[in-house]
Amino acid sequence: MMKTAEEMGALAPEQYGSRKQQRAIDLAVNKVLTNDVLQQLKRPGAICSNGAKSCYYLIGHTQASVAMQRNGVAKSVVDCLFTTLQHATHQVRTGYGDSAIYYGGSCWLVPLHGIGQGNGAGPAIWVVISTLLLNILLNKGYGCEIRDPISGKRYKFVGYAFVDDTNLAQCSPGEHDVKKKNRTCRSPLILGKLP
């Protein structure tokens, strides 16, 4: 799945984790460079750093199935993976043996979702799901657009992600993106009045 997605260019460039030729240090450098460019251009911007809590346990099988099939995984493989996860039983193992009480299995009316920590396919599944989420934000107009002063090429991005740790970026349009008009908008707080 990852090889096919990389070859097709189907993965969000903002996702650095679980991918070949991508390193956490590259993400950190790009985040610092983004802040430096915004500071030099005197453009307002913000970066929100957040980690998706329990993201592997909260992945819906339907959404994961669609994202995986979109990137070349056969439906039979997806069905095999998620049927196994939905029918698995979970027990506690201690030094005294396995617990007699378990949860999961086929007795549940609604099967458990999520892919679980330690699942070898987990990082790749999260990459294809997070790609969809990052692309949605980009298509809705969120993120930053920065123009290279030398080449004039524009770079649009919504942040930087390393697996489930994400830094979402938002900045104001640059002067080249704003149509100048002869009007000034002021916040009521700047004028000393409450909204």
What is the secondary structure of 15-67 as a DSSP string?
B-TT-TT--HHHHHHHHHHHHHHHHHHT--EEEEEEE-TTGGGG--HHHHHHH
Separation between Cα atoms, residue 124 and residue 127, nearest integer Å: 5
Closest by CA to 121, choosing from 58, 56, 24, 51, is 56
Say if residues 19 and 2 touch (Cβ distance below 8 Å): yes
Separation between Cα atoms, residue 36 and residue 42, nearest integer Å: 10
Output the CA torsion sign for 180, 186, 190, 195.
negative
140: three-class secondary structure by DSSP:
coil
pTM given for the model: 0.78
Separation between Cα atoms, residue 4 and residue 14, nearest integer Å: 18
Q: Which two tokens stand for residue 69?
A: 């099939």
Q: What's residue 181's pLDDT?
A: 40
Closest by CA to 70, choosing from 114, 10, 15, 149, is 10
pLDDT per residue as tens, the chain (195 positions): 999 999 999 999 999 988 988 899 999 998 998 999 889 888 999 999 888 788 888 899 999 999 999 999 999 999 999 999 998 888 899 999 999 888 888 777 788 889 988 888 999 999 999 999 999 999 999 999 988 878 889 989 999 999 888 999 999 886 655 444 433 333 333 333 333
Closest by CA to 108, choosing from 88, 129, 80, 78, is 88
